Amino acid sequence: MAAREERTQARVDKALVRPGHRERVEQLVRSQWREPVIVLRLDEKVDLGFAVPGRRLDGTVKGKRLIRRFFWNAARGVGGAAVTVFSLFNAGGAGNPFTRDIHVTGPAGALALGLLDSMRSASGPWLACSPSHLAVIDTGPTYVEVADAPAPRILWHAQQPERPEISFRTRTITWPDGSTFTFPLHGRGEVHHLRKYHEFPDIIHWNGRPAT
């Protein structure tokens, strides 16, 4: 059963991330950085939670969009009540779909916010990393064929010595001010791709792990 589910998930991942998108991103950054790269598809569907002063839980700036926020809070109250009732009847308990796991932490004006704010408009975000560079790149939706996709766009970029530290083991990017972003990967396919380069605890094989 587990093997069948894994094969099914692999087919789903392949349909959502068509071949060729990763290669376009790799070609773009290799040509500019002249270094080996690791490119990972991020999951834009995850509701990122923020624990940063001055930002709401969803990462928007406190004090802005007040009218829109009023109607959202009203809808959230009605919707949340409906889902809670549904949960009581179907799962024997109450659930709150409007809570979020915390992915972003830091002080007011955290350095991490530059990367996160740049990702808001992305429909196909990728994280590209090399020994001295880190970038977020948008390819547009990856379920379309590469021939029909727009050219990749660099949304955010940092280079040594400003490049933040990255841990592939914890999937966390850490900035000098202590702010962090725990990045979600787009399915098991990206987890398997990362294993080609990462060895526990935090050994990075930039040209791929040697064959065993």
Along the 212 residues of the chain, how does pLDDT read in single tens digits? 666 666 666 677 677 888 999 999 999 999 999 999 999 999 999 999 999 999 999 999 998 765 555 554 555 455 444 433 333 333 333 334 457 899 999 999 999 999 999 999 999 999 999 999 999 999 999 999 999 999 999 999 999 999 999 999 999 999 999 999 999 999 999 999 999 999 999 999 999 999 86
Extract the tokens encoding 205: 């094989």
Residue carrying the six token digits 């990967």: 185
Identity at 150, one-letter amino acid code: P
DSSP state of 43: -
Helix, strand, or coil here: 73? helix
Distance of CA 8 to the CA centre of its chain: 23
Supply the pLDDT for residue 208: 96
d(CA 136, CA 115): 7
Domain extents in the chain: 2-54+102-204, 64-99
Q: How crowded is the C-beta side of 42, counted as CA atoms within 13 Å?
A: 30
CB of 177 closer than 8 Å to CB of 161:
no
- The torsion region of residue 74 among left (phi > 0), alpha (psi -120 to 50) and beta comes to alpha
Tell me the pTM: 0.81
pLDDT at 79: 44
Return the half-sphere exposure (C-beta side, CA atoms, 13 A cut-off) of residue 205: 14
Query: Quick one: pLDDT at residue 140?
Result: 96
What does the DSSP 8-state code read for residue 99? -
Q: What is the pLDDT of residue 25?
A: 98
pLDDT for the residue numbered 73? 52
* Contact yes or no for 105/179 (Cβ under 8 A): yes
